[in-house]
A and B are shown apart, each in its own frame.
Chain A
Amino acid sequence: METEPSFFETSPTPNVVGKPLNRVDGRDKVMGRAKYSAEYPIPGLTYGVLKTSDIAKGKIQSIDTSAAAKQPGVLAIYTHLNIPKLAVTPNDADGKKAIGAPMGFMPLTSDVIFYAGQPVAVVVADTFERATHAADLVRVTYTTEQPIAAYTDPKAKIFDPAKIQDGKTDGKTRRGDARAALASAPVQLTAVYTHAINHHNPMEPGATTAVWDAPDRLTVYESTQGVTRTQKALSTMLGLPQDQVRVITKYLGGGFGCKGSCWPHTVLTVLAAKGVGRPVKLSLTRKQQFTSMGHREDQTQTLTLGATKEGKLTTLIHEKTSTTSPWDNYAESNSKIINMLYDCPNFEASYQLARGNVMTSTYTRAPGEAPGSFALESLMDDLAYKLNIDPIQIRLLNHADKDPTNGNPWSSKSLKECYARGAELFGWSKRNPKAGATRNGRLLVGMGMATASYPVHNSQGMARVRLYADGHAVVQSGATDLGTGTYTVMTQVAADSLGLPPEKIRFELGDTKLPTAPNSGGSVAAGTVSSSVYMAAQDVWGRLTKLAIKDKKSPLFGAKSEEVAVENGRLQLKKNKAKGEGFMALMKRAGLDDIEGSGSGKYGAGYETGQAASPATSGNAEKPATHSMHSFGAHFCEVQVDPDLGTVRVTRWVSVHGAGRILNAKTARSQIIGGSIFGIGAALMEATHRDNQFARYVNADFADYHIPVNADIPDMTVEFIDERDPYINAMGVKGIGEISMVGVSAAVANAIFHATGKRVRDLPITPDKILATKAV
């Protein structure tokens, strides 16, 4: 990192970066011009519709397509018997890994049914209505077996996986001797936490438009958080060279993790298009969305802590049991945040799984950190009340000055400032420390808080800058913008890196023809792509510097390149700033209309150690970094609880985070608000109910799976603690997509405890659970 340029040095006082610039794609979005993946009017376009399984376990006995085929406009009906074959499927040995698939199973490869909602046919017709109705008319008969709905099913077999989360995380973790420490701990607390099934439910359902440009060349407009990951998955499955599959995602209607992988409906659309020889567009229905792109799994956590009488943690023991699919050992890694959030010398974690007739669950905003922090931050609250210590104080008492998992210093950490500023903004000092003691008429008022943290993963990406002699630039990286503001913040970074006003920058993303960028997931995109853009700009300046020092007409002629610096688009001598020139004059003399540079930005441990991270994914660096890298923050919540009706309303909210450099004050605030609302949904209302007998969801729609509405949300206060972190990437950006939701459900539950004096450990905290606390 020492040899590479850094934004801290080249732009010590940024002009645009960090400012609350309005979204550059705002006009397109408010005018209805932004084209999402099912909105390209491609000539000859046809409509694909999935037919899905009514049963959760068994076999297809027969499929009668005759009535459907007779419908006007029906072009093709594909089942496992006639759909074009894949070169590699996730069912193959090592197939899943080769593909990078989220699920070790591909529908329409056999007659076996593993889960309700599994696709059994794809119907293609000339209109949406005809395809939909024809799919209804496909008659499938099944031989049915009794499915297993969840780990709670008495028939379910619980097992200890060696690894979870696609092999990324160990099934067991130990640090110190947690059991021995517990035996001698003067204070011991243990509690069981459950979490309902949650669905990401982005407003735009999964959508694919597949166009075969030639028998071996494919373009896919896809609603994905990663065009490159989708490209690799499709090219591997189809047996095509990667470059012969082009994936385009210009606008993405949210994702929250479910669009981070290439799921079966995308593959089936591509195969259907190949079969019919025409472009096919397929949008999931909202109901299909619940069984097509993963979910946050149903889970139980048992958390035990040991502490001194003064409230200092001595041990933490975490156990999680959850449902996974017939093929994969997926579970969110809840224990990671429990391991690192507080200074605690002993730790033990284990995961248990049971196979159910469900599809594989997948990363859902703050995967692991969100439910894990619910357990930890609820139990820390219990500890605070038990010892009569203020909830913030108990957290300060256990503040981890260094990473407890490896003893490394933090690259930066502003958690104490987050607590202090948050408490000040929230008015924490006015809180009556006694639970159940504050009223507003009939309503019980409670204030709670919780800590948030999210790691800086390891990632890298690339970007390209084409700077024109007339003073504008086109900047490109194959990233995606989930709505997080990638278009906007990258425009800002490019503007400052090139010394141009933002309106002279056009940032392009969402296309595999562009330089490769990582998935927008794991909060890596902002840091990785901004660093890549910055490095590409540096490459341009390097080329222009070389040009200048060889150009007899340049004031910089004969200088050494290391003597030249760039400031606001002007190349000049470091020691004599007056001596220099703007790039336009230089390029004009050289007869260059434009000049191109490219760069690679590293993010996380790979930046500090100089090691590679797979560009399309994020993983852990082999050589450990010398610093541990995390964002930290604190949420403060006020609720009003109606003890008779069981309703809970969030009435005030404050979030303060230290997350490295904030690229855009406006979009960053929006993202934190959005993550908090996502967390409030999980805390108070979100639950997908799976019938035990049928292993099938009974509320797979937006009327009965409740996400927060406008009336649920008060005005919210968000602040950031200014952080300068030189260890994490050239821009000093940590990313804020996930931390915004970590700790949120605990902050709500802690506020409810403060209001009522009753602890609810079962999410979501719906009115029935509030009423039940009165009986306890």
Chain B
Amino acid sequence: MNNFSYLQATQPKEATGAVRDNQQAAFIAGGTTLLDLMKLNVETHDQLVDINMLAFKGIEQTADGLRIGALERMSDVGENPLVMQQYPVISQSLLLAASPQLRNMASIGGNLLQRTRCGYFRDTAFPCNKRQPGSGCPAQEGENRGLAILGGSKDCIATFPGDLAVALVALDAVLLLENAKGKQRRVPLVDFHLLPGSTPQRETVLEPGELIVSVTVPAAAHTRKSMYLKVRERSSYAYALASAAVGLDVQGGQIRSARVALGGVGTKPWRSREAEKVLTGAPATEATFRAAAAAALREAQPREHNRFKVELAQNTLVRALTELTA
């Protein structure tokens, strides 16, 4: 890891200003992604700005729904009674992620900025368009077993690895961002992460120095009746091969509204409006769920080693919907 200076910021402007003015600076909250990648030289920064002193805290019910401060820790949100009861998909996505230790460290904002586990990205000996634009993407023809089948491009098929973002994107979460001028803006999470296209190095809409302040989730019937299902190669402490975040409002066997997102299969947290369209207004039956799953994966572009993800993602979604309506 290269050497860097450390700045403990006490006010948002101090932090955002420092990072805006120095392209090589980065924010540090939990550090679980940043230090991991810095040790691998995937990221190099000459200054780390510690934002843990900032007041981006709180887990609270607002008039519209849920507000979570970006510096709350995954474990605190995951085990918060309000979140567990009213937004189970959020709690489950958090508690099925990483390990208890990492969840104690990692912040909500940082978790949304988690970077891919693609082995080519994480090893500087390989070419990688995300890490080194223009160098190539050996994953296309290489060891792509864990990589994305949705949202990829010829330049990048790196999977977004997180769970929370999948749950939040399903529930129409909105991020509150603040830039170095102290100006705040709201960005729906679904628009926050970018598809790789020809610029896989650009992962989010964050401007230099811009910080995530909080996340809000509108309350609805489908937030209470929601769940997260994660399929992985071992029973715990593993990234998703496929996951599904679902929320339903079912009345009299008919689905009034549906929220669906997939994890482990997309280059970004994958909201599936195609699946939601099939579900909305349809009877809550296995046939409907199957049709929704097929719709969700219709655009899938598997590679040599990740073809199984098409079926697995569909089955995961069907299972989640089945369990939720059981």
Q: How far, in whole Å, are A81 and B312 apart by their CA atoms in the complex?
A: 53
**Cross-chain contact of A696 among B1, B125, B237, B312 (Cβ < 8 A):** B125
The yes or no answer to A17 lying at the interface (CB within 8 A) is: no
Once the chains bind, are A708 and B234 in contact (CB under 8 Å)? yes
Once the chains bind, are B143 and A709 in contact (CB under 8 Å)? no
The yes or no answer to A305 lying at the interface (CB within 8 A) is: no
Residues of B contacting A179 in the complex (Cβ-Cβ under 8 angstroms): none
Once the chains bind, are B138 and A768 in contact (CB under 8 Å)? no
Once the chains bind, are A698 and B120 in contact (CB under 8 Å)? yes
**Cross-chain contact of B119 among A55, A647, A689 (Cβ < 8 A):** A689
Once the chains bind, are A54 and B312 in contact (CB under 8 Å)? no
Q: Which of B17-25, B184-192, B270-278, B315-323 lines the interface with chain A?
A: B315-323
Once the chains bind, are B1 and A54 in contact (CB under 8 Å)? no
| Cβ < 8 Å to B, chain A residues 121-139 | 129, 132-133, 136
CB distance from B6 to the nearest CB of A (A): 13
Once the chains bind, are B236 and A693 in contact (CB under 8 Å)? no
In the complex, the chain A residue whose C-beta lies closest to that of B126 is A694
CB distance from B42 to the nearest CB of A (A): 12
Residues of A contacting B235 in the complex (Cβ-Cβ under 8 angstroms): 649, 709, 711-712
Q: Please, how many residues of chain A have a CB less than 8 angstroms from a CB on the other chain?
A: 40
Once the chains bind, are A711 and B312 in contact (CB under 8 Å)? no
Residues of B contacting A54 in the complex (Cβ-Cβ under 8 angstroms): 124-125
Once the chains bind, are A698 and B119 in contact (CB under 8 Å)? yes
Residues of B contacting A55 in the complex (Cβ-Cβ under 8 angstroms): 125
Contacts A644-B319, A712-B235, A768-B312; A136 near B145 (Cβ below 8 A): no
In the complex, the chain A residue whose C-beta lies closest to that of B239 is A703
**Cross-chain contact of B2 among A136, A699, A766 (Cβ < 8 A):** A136
Once the chains bind, are A706 and B143 in contact (CB under 8 Å)? no
Once the chains bind, are A692 and B117 in contact (CB under 8 Å)? no
CB distance from A192 to the nearest CB of B (A): 19
The yes or no answer to B64 lying at the interface (CB within 8 A) is: no
Query: B-facing mask of A46-82, CB < 8 A → 1, else 0?
Result: 0000000011000000000000000000000000000
CB distance from B78 to the nearest CB of A (A): 16
Secondary structure dominating the interface of A: loop
Query: B-facing mask of A646-683, CB < 8 A → 1, else 0?
Result: 11010000000000000000000000000000000000
In the complex, the chain B residue whose C-beta lies closest to that of A697 is B119
Contacts A692-B142, A703-B117; A698 near B312 (Cβ below 8 A): no
The yes or no answer to B41 lying at the interface (CB within 8 A) is: yes
Once the chains bind, are B319 and A767 in contact (CB under 8 Å)? no
CB distance from B67 to the nearest CB of A (A): 31
Once the chains bind, are B125 and A133 in contact (CB under 8 Å)? no
**Cross-chain contact of A132 among B1, B120, B142 (Cβ < 8 A):** B1
In the complex, the chain A residue whose C-beta lies closest to that of B242 is A645
Query: A-facing mask of B133-145, CB < 8 A → 1, else 0?
Result: 0000010011101
Residues of B contacting A768 in the complex (Cβ-Cβ under 8 angstroms): 145, 241, 308, 312
In the complex, the chain A residue whose C-beta lies closest to that of B141 is A693
Once the chains bind, are B145 and A689 in contact (CB under 8 Å)? yes
Q: Please, how many residues of chain B have a CB less than 8 angstroms from a CB on the other chain?
A: 34
Q: Which of B1, B2, B141, B234 has the most CB of A within 10 A?
A: B234
The yes or no answer to B311 lying at the interface (CB within 8 A) is: yes
Q: How far, in whole Å, are A116 and B318 apart by their CA atoms in the complex?
A: 42
**Cross-chain contact of A767 among B41, B143, B236, B312 (Cβ < 8 A):** B312
Once the chains bind, are B126 and A696 in contact (CB under 8 Å)? yes
Residues of A contacting B219 in the complex (Cβ-Cβ under 8 angstroms): none
Q: How far, in whole Å, are A136 and B42 apart by their CA atoms in the complex?
A: 12
CB distance from A115 to the nearest CB of B (A): 12
The yes or no answer to A772 lying at the interface (CB within 8 A) is: yes
CB distance from B176 to the nearest CB of A (A): 31
Residues of A contacting B231 in the complex (Cβ-Cβ under 8 angstroms): 645-647, 767
Once the chains bind, are B138 and A694 in contact (CB under 8 Å)? yes
Residues of B contacting A28 in the complex (Cβ-Cβ under 8 angstroms): none
The yes or no answer to A771 lying at the interface (CB within 8 A) is: yes
CB distance from B244 to the nearest CB of A (A): 11
Contacts A133-B1, A133-B3, A694-B126; A706 near B234 (Cβ below 8 A): yes
Q: How far, in whole Å, are A576 and B239 apart by their CA atoms in the complex?
A: 72
Residues of B contacting A243 in the complex (Cβ-Cβ under 8 angstroms): none
Query: A-facing mask of B1-42, CB < 8 A → 1, else 0?
Result: 111000000000000000000000000000000000000010
Query: B-facing mask of A503-533, CB < 8 A → 1, else 0?
Result: 0000000000000000000000000000000
Residues of A contacting B126 in the complex (Cβ-Cβ under 8 angstroms): 691, 694, 696, 698
Once the chains bind, are A699 and B308 in contact (CB under 8 Å)? no
The yes or no answer to B207 lying at the interface (CB within 8 A) is: no
By Cβ-Cβ distance, the 4 closest A-B pairs, closest first, are A698-B119, A768-B308, A54-B125, A711-B235
For the A-B complex with A116-B125, A287-B123, A766-B233 known, give 16 more contacts whose Cβ atoms are closer than 8 Å. A129-B3, A133-B3, A684-B234, A691-B119, A698-B119, A698-B123, A699-B143, A700-B123, A706-B238, A708-B234, A709-B236, A712-B235, A767-B312, A768-B241, A768-B308, A771-B311
Residue positions of A touching B, CB distance < 8 A: 54-55, 116, 129, 132-133, 136, 287, 644-647, 649, 684-685, 689-694, 696-701, 703-704, 706, 708-712, 766-768, 771-772
Sampled A-B contacts (7; CB under 8 Å): A132-B1, A644-B315, A696-B125, A698-B120, A699-B143, A700-B123, A712-B234
